[in-house]
Structure 1
Amino acid sequence: MAQENQMKKAIYDALCIELGIQPIQVLKEGNRETLKGFTAQGLADHFQVSRNLISHYLNQLFAQDLVFKIDSRPVYYFPRKAFLEQFHLEALSRSYTSLLELMEEITLAEGRSASFSLMIGANESLSYCIEQCKAAISYPGQGLPILLNGPTGTGKSMLASCMYEYAKETGRIQPDARFVTVNCAEYANNPELLLTNLFGYKKGAYTGADKDRQGLIAAAEGGVLFLDEVHALKPESQEKIFLFMDKGIYHMVGDNDTWYEGSVRMIFATTEDPKTCLLKTMLRRIPITVKLPSLKQRSRAEKKELIAYLFKREAKAIHQSIRISKLAYQVMESVDYLGNVGELKNYVKASVAKALLHRGDTQDVEIHIYDLPSELLDMQRREVPQAQFDDHTMIDLEVMEDEKRNSQLYQFNLSILRSFSTFPNKESNFPAFAYSMHERIEQYIDDLYYSEEEKDSPNSKFVYNLLSNIFQIIASKYHLEKVSNNETIILSRLIMDYLNHATIRKAFSHTLNQELNQCLELIKTYYPLDYSVAVDVAALIEDALHLHIGRIGQINVFLFFHYFDRDMKKAAIPGIIIAHGYNIASSIAEVVNQLLNRKVFDAIDMPIESDFTLVVSRLREYLLQKEGCREFIVMVDMGSLEDIYAYLENVSNVDLGIINNVSTKLALDIGSMILDGNSIDQILEEASIRNQHRYKIISNRKKQNTILTVCETGIGTAEKIASLIEQSLPQAVDIKIIPYDYASLSTIGIHDPIFQKCNVIGIVGTKDPQIGICFISIEELLEQKHLDTILAIFAPYLDEKQITVFNENMIKYFSMDHLLGYLTILDTEKIMDSVQDIIAKLQKGLQIVFPAGVVMGLYVHIACLIERLIIDKQAVYYEDVDKFTAAHLDFIKLVKTIFADVERIYNVEIPVNEIAYIYAYIYHRPVKSVNRNENSVNDFENL
């Protein structure tokens, strides 16, 4: 054990030394040869030991969180603590997908101001606030007075402190300059005391003034003066500081003859409406007002990040690790904190204090539902189902902070760019790629519609209205057809997703920079008009919302417009859906249009509080825009909308059919009849009969048999599982393999839109979403468990022999993907064919069938064995090899015969020591020479 720890320490020290001699530019360039010292092979060469041994110790260091890794080929390992210190970072993830992703974090840390970097939301909801603060501090001379306005607990004092640090950081003030705070509430009823403390006094100015005393302005000379709770000052108190704000001069109390000069930057803060609590003459002297958002107005992602940050701060304060149960975390996330961040901070402290009492003998502090303050539980705004968020499953703080990368927006764009990078002949066939994205866009749209985040918030309505105006401008500029209401709804949801995850674009700006540029160039080449529209829309959104969506946002806008204009023949009889409630009509129209793959319905949403005459006006405007159409079907839900016909009788040259009780089923029925070419009379008569008697509509279209692949950690792993299944099938089958979002299935269940489009015959993945559909875990598939279930799914398409080949291929290709991270000189595909032949001959020669686990292990073991012999030219040590030889001559002879071709091709000789380990692996697993990863399936995403 001592020798093992010594070797592990030597490896860690070697990584630290290597990091110390590598300049940042070398890491950014990512040269493989230069960075070899951070790989298992490079360390193996340095210590003159086997690569497998080094990998063993590196995995231990990684498990202990002493190193983090880059999951590329080869895998790179860096010492965590040394890396944080060298590059002045606050935190690092456990792993990164590429060197470029890591370098992006370093670049962002270099580019942003350290003074504001600690504020959560600095690049999102607070970005504009921080821009205003920087502008005020940086203004020539003594800066500009600035007013921070926001509810209690929103971080006004912290922002003022950050401005002070920024001023020092940028050289605007000297390093020893002071930050002086004045709580104006203390002087609300005593303006004279404010004068005395602010300006200072001369000896004899009043009884007890026995010596001269400087005021707070003099104390803040050359620095920052922060007047908090400025609304508490009476008008006469506000007037006392006008002269100093205008000219930087003042009188000390008791000395009206001498003018004193002061040079300070002034920051004011208030929780009240400045227009009602401050004099107009005061407001005129403050050119910049910063409006800080409440915690409710900030994104859900920022709220989660704040919760994680506050718990991490408490963990640091008590020098203990803290974990929180899923249920407790969801309760904390669901509460609307009237006291904002300040109140949230107090509840975190109270929860930790209570948990410390319940800790018992456990090392970590665990926060459970009973540790939360009772008043916090009373404020919970929505019910949190315990079935989904139990109080026993604990969440690490790092997992809480990493949720941004698991967002639907990130996974959606990652999937698009990965598909683009691997799409065949994309330069000459880019339109095919654009069309291939429609299915993914539909899935993402479904997620946007079913997401409860920001669904009915004032922000979402504001974004919708903003986009409506932007699209009117764009339609007028380029002479385009007006964007429909439901399309505007969809794009507003997309932009809301960007507002909630504003830094997502940065995740791709470096890691997939080449793909971004190439994709935009091809859009510009094939769709010049659409490219101009997308760029203009993105620019207008950025200007209006101070939200930088960048190149990935431009690609999204293009793809969505391309999806809206997909090859849909316009319906002979257009339809429009009008329904009460926010987004109800738009949701029905979008789902039905997707299912019919035709642009049949538009929508007008009628929020409960909206004016009926306004809806009529919008409908009349819509009808007048549809020049050339002489028939329309208007679908309404109930109430006042049922009488809408009375307001449409004078619409000239248009026949209108109006039907009530609109639903998705009814709209789909009517849409189908429209596409079948039925007359408006037939359509409404049949639909009315079917709706009245609740007839079941049987679609003539056959749904595609589908297998969904899922993973709780994200869509990326689901895509890898789908690729593995498709690669392993011995022949083409009439089954569609679709990677799908686990969270969507587990939340919506069988009501998820995918079940309306596809006949889902099974789900394969890492965790069962438990929705009543046949599920096979990837582990069961690889280990060939529950073969009857596998046979039931594939029996109509594959015979028994082909299913056997499918199972063998699954093991082979899964093992091959594992080997890609270990083999450095051998052609993986070629060696796997040789190993496959070896395993088949072993089973035949021994007259046994190996279990799937043994086969997977042998794939990895034999391939690594051959490469090890090529590199090291020596075998591993095996105790009692002579005894083994005497007892197993037949086995040795069989293996030597089977390995004859491999020995000849690779110029190696398989010694008896290695044969002994193969024997032990087959008959006496586990053995120390075989590093079997029991969690290989759970680590599938690392392939």
Structure 2
Amino acid sequence: MLKTQKLVYERIVSNTRDIRWDLPEGLTAGELAGELGAGRNTVSQYLNEYVERGEFVKIKSRPVLFLDRRTLEELYGVSLPWSVYDTLKALRDTLKPGEAEQVQGEARDFGKLIGHRGSLEACVEQLKSAMAYPPAGLPVLLNGESGIGKSMMAQLMHEYGVNRGILKGDAPFVTLNCSEYANNPELMATNLFGHVKGAYTGAVAGSAGLLQAADGGVLFLDEVHCLRPECQEKLFLFMDKGIYHRMGDNVNWHSSKVRLIFATTEEPEKVLVKTLLRRIPLICHIPSIAERPADERHELICRLFREEMRTTGRQFYISRRVYHLLMTANFDGNIGEIKNCVRACCANAFLAWQSGDGRENKGPLCIRLSSLPESLLLSAGEPYGEALEEDGLISLEELDRKFRAERSENSVYAQLLREYQAYLERGRDFSRLLEIMLSRLEGYYDRLSYAEGVLTTPRYRLFESLMESVSSLLAGKYSLALHSRESRFLAMHFYNRSLAGREEDSGRLSRALDGLMEEKLRKERSISQEICEFLEKNIGITTGNMDRVFLTLAVKSNLRDVDLDKAQCFILCHGHSAAGSMAAAANAILGAYVYDAVDMPLAVPAEQVIANLLGRLKKLRGCTEFVFLVDLGSLEQIFERVRDLDNADVGFADNVSLGLALELGRRLLAGEPLEPALEAAAAAGRSNCRIACNRKKEDVILAVCATGLEMATKITRLLENCLPRPIPASIRTYDYAGLVEEGLQAPVFAQYHVKFIIGTLDTQIPSVPFISLDQLVSSQDVGLLGRLFSDYYTPDEIQALEQNLIHQFSLQNILDYLTILNAEKVLSLVSDALEQLQRRVGYSFSKQTVTGLYLHLCCLIERLVLRRDTAEEAGIDRFIDRHGDFVVNVKNCFSVVESYYSVEIPVAEIRYIYDYVKADRNLDE
């Protein structure tokens, strides 16, 4: 079995690497089963397990296709947020193959660079621009700590120029390490510009110099800060006009078309003369390894180990603690030091392998704590030696797969998208989705709180400063000050986002989620849009759908107890800033974002102001309450134009004042309904008010329980999980005691159309149907679900709802009996098998029979796994003779269950199943 599973994995990886999008062969369960000579169900089981673990991608086409996720991400330089896609086109749209640096084979130029689509993306774009700028490129300065790869980036810049036809194929790449000439400026000038015969003592022949040698190519001046100012000054004329004199010859001019790349580990402003610095238009600051995201360090470590594997011809297994140290240790020498550390590890492991029975052993090399350089162990506070090892060895391939699966699982954007997908599939109401997403946000904040090293970098301090500005902006405009905790976490999040380079997006799905936020959390979404625009303007980060979703949730989390969307309120006043001043003052005093302002300049016709207002209202789709507080002279005209807003209640009051705005704001924030709140505020402010009620009440289903809200919440979630698809009605938890006491006067009936109530004890509300939990899962009232959900579902969907209810109640019972098996998994397999059995015998079992069989069969599987006693075998031969067809049907239907758990259902137990079914309906003898 394990061998087949391994072959399935290897074939999918290979076929993904060689995929032809127009003819994707070898990617279906049937094709693989035929190729490997294995059972299709077995292969399908392995494929779906890999999908569940996030290692494979599944395309729900006909036939279903499977691809290797890691291979796709490496080929296309993206992070896939999902493991399941509806169509092959949907996957390709996410991969964006037109933007890939590579499709097959080796990466080219900057595609070789770890982080070229992440933390180094901005730098790479600068280097591309410097190389391509006509007519001969631009000088560029690479600035960063020692060991970060400045020399490699210079070489890749040259390779990029050759690959794009900017440079000729044989264009030279010449390096000059300036530190060698720090104390000898004349020798540096001689090597750089060349000299003529007799230019100095010992110059018996002339030399062309490096500028001439690099003509048509690239000259890389490393450690340029080591040059004295007079050496730097010798470059000015050449950088300005492309001409120079050779040493000892002040008459003849020479020219060279060279693209200059400088590099320094120091602060350019302190070590380079200003006149040289002015001649370098592009300064590229390369982040240290400590400033780069964890996935890039992981990729670097894996790449370095793979290089050593090729060198030694051996597979490596790595201790998890070694990997953890490499991922978290402080490497002052950056990539260069990590590379030396990895090489030392491999050398030590190779020596240990040889000193044992390595000459005969062709197995893998093991990288343990004892393989690490002693200096790293001491700096990390780890004990040196093998005795205190380890917490397990893992292959490089498995380590990489686990890292990527965990990264995808823990990505906050991917988590939010998964919850939204579940919301669409299971029909949860938005309040439940919002609750789950806010909890995901809190979990993400918890993970950020453990981040180390980030807070010390200059770039992070920039983001921290920007978030303080954002907080001030919100406080001044909306009276919404971010808590210091949220401000810090937002700084960390967008700092990491800037390093990652690209938004983790999922096209249509993320756009739909952003649209849902705009519909349900209008004001929070508006604030998030303003923050995104601020970030784009000030740091150049490109924001997208999921950034807006994330910020909308962050604002909502900060104001969890404030309902900003209770009503959309406007203050309208004549003059240039009267409305804005009053709205800002009211928001500040109320401590919440309640009012928007509409200023009406005296020179602008009222009709134009109203037209602009109507344009704003159209964007507030889904809003069900509007309030307009206006000054004198405008009430009637505005009321007539907006009183008939579709599906929205509209309130008006004239003679607006700060007192009126505050009184109404306090009442709305306290949860008072619009109509009584506006009437009371208008009376207190001596204003006239009018209300137009146009809103259609939303359908709701109430879940209640006499024992309290906790059980009612469980009922809500259970029903949500059973719905075959979303319905235009929400399921809401409500207080049982309050409902019984207030009856039809309860506020929920004024705000919503209550379709029915579900719970444990009847609430005795006249004209509102009540359904007990027992009724839902029993067969006492056959048409009950059909009557309750006839407005939403087809007969087939109602049947699916019945099955889901049975499944959910059975799962709760089974959880109390099973000790080792995953109840949800075994129930899922048993449920599929029973559905097949019902089709084979030609009729459907009753609810009671299905529920009883669920419990019996799940417990039976666990007994078989544990090898405990099952039914007696007496009389089996006679049963087989009489009911052989039933035995065959059960065996066929439960083959997947038997294969998954490596068990075999005895015929004696099949006889019990037969008796159970017979009690439900008499079978033909």
**Structure 2 matches for 1:313-324, cutoff 5 A?**
313-324=307-318
Provide closer, same or farther for how the CA distance between residues 237 and 923 of structure 1 changes in structure 2, counting only shifts above 3 A: same
Post-superposition offset of 1:312 = 2.4
Which of 333, 347, 350 lines up with 1:353 in the alignment? 347
Matched, 1:131 2:115: no
CA contact (8 A) 1:431 1:526 kept: no
Which residue pairs with 2:65 in the alignment? Answer: 76
CA contact (8 A) 1:150 1:271 kept: yes
CA contact (8 A) 2:178 2:223 kept: yes
Matched, 1:171 2:165: yes
* Separation of aligned partners in 2, 1:824 and 1:893: 25
Which residue pairs with 1:394 in the alignment? Answer: 393
Which amino acid is 1:38 matched to? L
Post-superposition offset of 1:522 = 2.5
Which residue pairs with 2:604 in the alignment? Answer: none
CA contact (8 A) 2:331 2:338 kept: yes
Post-superposition offset of 1:123 = 2.9
Matched, 1:489 2:488: yes
Which residue pairs with 2:881 in the alignment? Answer: 893
* Separation of aligned partners in 2, 1:280 and 1:538: 36
Secondary structure in structure 1 of the residue aligned to 2:317: strand
**Structure 2 matches for 1:760-839, cutoff 5 A?**
803=813, 807=817, 813-815=824-826, 817=828
Which residue pairs with 1:852 in the alignment? Answer: 862
Which of 198, 208, 223 lines up with 2:192 in the alignment? 198
Aligned residues: 663
What TM-score comes out, normalization by structure 1 length?
Answer: 0.58
Which of 319, 329, 335 lines up with 1:341 in the alignment? 335
Post-superposition offset of 1:223 = 0.9
Post-superposition offset of 1:182 = 0.7
Structural RMSD (CA): 6.0
What TM-score comes out, normalization by structure 2 length?
Answer: 0.59
- Structure 2's unaligned 5+ residue stretches are 565-584, 592-669, 671-706, 723-730, 734-807, 868-874, 909-925
**Structure 2 matches for 1:265-414, cutoff 5 A?**
265-359=259-353, 360=356, 361=358, 363-380=363-380, 391-401=390-400, 403=403, 405-407=405-407, 410-414=410-414
Q: Render the CA deviation track for 1:318-355: whole Å, top value 9, x for unaligned.
A: 22222221222223333222222212211111121111
Q: Percent identity?
A: 29
* Separation of aligned partners in 2, 1:819 and 1:498: 44
* Separation of aligned partners in 2, 1:525 and 1:625: 22
Secondary structure in structure 1 of the residue aligned to 2:905: helix
Provide closer, same or farther for how the CA distance between residues 16 and 330 of structure 1 changes in structure 2, counting only shifts above 3 A: closer
Which of 551, 560, 575 lines up with 1:557 in the alignment? 551
Q: Render the CA deviation track for 1:805-844: whole Å, top value 9, x for unaligned.
A: 8658987852465699999999999999879979988999
* Separation of aligned partners in 1, 2:15 and 2:452: 50
* Separation of aligned partners in 2, 1:14 and 1:311: 24
CA contact (8 A) 2:838 2:844 kept: no
**Structure 2 matches for 1:412-431, cutoff 5 A?**
412-423=412-423, 430=430
Which residue pairs with 1:658 in the alignment? Answer: none
* Separation of aligned partners in 2, 1:392 and 1:824: 44
Post-superposition offset of 1:393 = 0.8
Q: Render the CA deviation track for 1:483-523: whole Å, top value 9, x for unaligned.
A: 333332342343345356555x33xx24xx22211112223
Provide closer, same or farther for how the CA distance between residues 252 and 800 of structure 1 changes in structure 2, counting only shifts above 3 A: closer
Which amino acid is 1:465 matched to? S
Post-superposition offset of 1:216 = 1.4
**Structure 2 matches for 1:520-535, cutoff 5 A?**
520-535=514-529
Matched, 1:107 2:94: no
Matched, 1:234 2:231: no
CA contact (8 A) 2:536 2:543 kept: yes
Matched, 1:38 2:27: yes
Which of 47, 51, 54 lines up with 2:40 in the alignment? 51
Question: Which one is further off, 815-824 or 305-314?
Answer: 815-824
Secondary structure in structure 2 of the residue aligned to 1:193: helix
CA contact (8 A) 2:423 2:433 kept: yes
Secondary structure in structure 1 of the residue aligned to 2:300: helix
* Separation of aligned partners in 1, 2:536 and 2:195: 51
Secondary structure in structure 2 of the residue aligned to 1:328: helix
CA contact (8 A) 2:78 2:95 kept: no
**Structure 2 matches for 1:718-737, cutoff 5 A?**
none
- Structure 1's unaligned 5+ residue stretches are 27-33, 571-622, 630-674, 676-700, 709-718, 725-731, 735-797, 858-886, 926-943
Secondary structure in structure 1 of the residue aligned to 2:250: strand
Q: Render the CA deviation track for 1:193-248: whole Å, top value 9, x for unaligned.
A: 22322223344545555554322112211111001111122222222221111100
Q: Render the CA deviation track for 1:220-277: whole Å, top value 9, x for unaligned.
A: 1111100111112222222222111110011233443221111010001112222232
Q: Render the CA deviation track for 1:89-142: whole Å, top value 9, x for unaligned.
A: 79999x955565687457387158842233223233322222222222222111
Which amino acid is 1:70 matched to? V
Matched, 1:921 2:904: yes
Secondary structure in structure 1 of the residue aligned to 2:100: helix
Post-superposition offset of 1:358 = 1.2
**Structure 2 matches for 1:595-634, cutoff 5 A?**
627=589
Post-superposition offset of 1:420 = 1.6
CA contact (8 A) 1:811 1:855 kept: no
Provide closer, same or farther for how the CA distance between residues 832 and 152 of structure 1 changes in structure 2, counting only shifts above 3 A: farther
**Structure 2 matches for 1:429-578, cutoff 5 A?**
430=430, 433-452=433-452, 454=454, 460-476=460-476, 478-499=477-498, 501-503=500-502, 505-506=503-504, 509-510=505-506, 513-568=507-562
CA contact (8 A) 1:498 1:549 kept: no
* Separation of aligned partners in 2, 1:911 and 1:519: 40
CA contact (8 A) 1:896 1:910 kept: no
* Separation of aligned partners in 2, 1:439 and 1:829: 45
CA contact (8 A) 1:37 1:43 kept: yes
Q: Render the CA deviation track for 1:16-41: whole Å, top value 9, x for unaligned.
A: 79986x643x4xxxxxxx65752122
CA contact (8 A) 1:80 1:92 kept: no
Which residue pairs with 1:188 in the alignment? Answer: 182
* Separation of aligned partners in 1, 2:562 and 2:230: 70
* Separation of aligned partners in 2, 1:192 and 1:918: 80
* Separation of aligned partners in 2, 1:418 and 1:625: 36
Post-superposition offset of 1:407 = 4.0
CA contact (8 A) 1:412 1:444 kept: yes
Which residue pairs with 1:633 in the alignment? Answer: none
Which residue pairs with 1:869 in the alignment? Answer: none
Which amino acid is 2:494 matched to? I
CA contact (8 A) 1:122 1:130 kept: yes
Provide closer, same or farther for how the CA distance between residues 287 and 13 of structure 1 changes in structure 2, counting only shifts above 3 A: closer
* Separation of aligned partners in 2, 1:425 and 1:807: 29
Provide closer, same or farther for how the CA distance between residues 142 and 306 of structure 1 changes in structure 2, counting only shifts above 3 A: same
Which residue pairs with 2:633 in the alignment? Answer: none
Q: Render the CA deviation track for 1:378-416: whole Å, top value 9, x for unaligned.
A: 222x679999x9524123334544535524984433332
* Separation of aligned partners in 2, 1:723 and 1:426: 6
Q: Render the CA deviation track for 1:642-668: whole Å, top value 9, x for unaligned.
A: xxxxxxxxxxxxxxxxxxxxxxxxxxx
Question: Which one is further off, 215-224 or 42-51?
Answer: 42-51
CA contact (8 A) 2:318 2:366 kept: yes
Larger Rg: 2
Provide closer, same or farther for how the CA distance between residues 469 and 841 of structure 1 changes in structure 2, counting only shifts above 3 A: closer
Which amino acid is 2:100 matched to? E
